[in-house]
Amino acid sequence: ADILQSTCQCVAGKGERAACKHVAALCFGLLDYDENKLYEACTERLQQWHQPTRKSSKPMNILDINFTSLRHNKEEEDKPKYLKFLESDIHIPEATTTLRQLL
């Protein structure tokens, strides 16, 4: 549909062929409304913020996880902190040998 006539209360919008920014903004808004099919309000649709997300990671053994992070101007420690923690208190019987080898 074509816009045949437009008016606005501002100085530039007076007359049959108004050419002010208010009329232009309304025209762009109507165009966006039609192109993006914004016919229903967000309150008419089901809420989307509590939708479950897909898990992209797979379960891993704790010894296979790399806990080191690259920080600016920081060198990697000889022993990661999690190994220092596990060195004193080990509650995973099957991992005892592997941990002892790492330590």
Non-local CB neighbours of 67 within 8 Å, separated by 6+ positions: 80, 81, 82
> Which pLDDT belongs to residue 20?
84
The answer, yes or no, to whether residue 97 has pLDDT greater than 70, is no
The answer, yes or no, to whether residue 17 has pLDDT greater than 60, is yes
> Which pLDDT belongs to residue 83?
62
What DSSP string runs through 33-45? HHHTT--S-GGGS
- Per-residue pLDDT tens over the stretch 44-96: 878 777 777 776 778 888 777 776 665 655 555 555 666 666 666 556 565 65
- Which range, 10-14, 29-33, 59-63, has the best average confidence (pLDDT)? 29-33
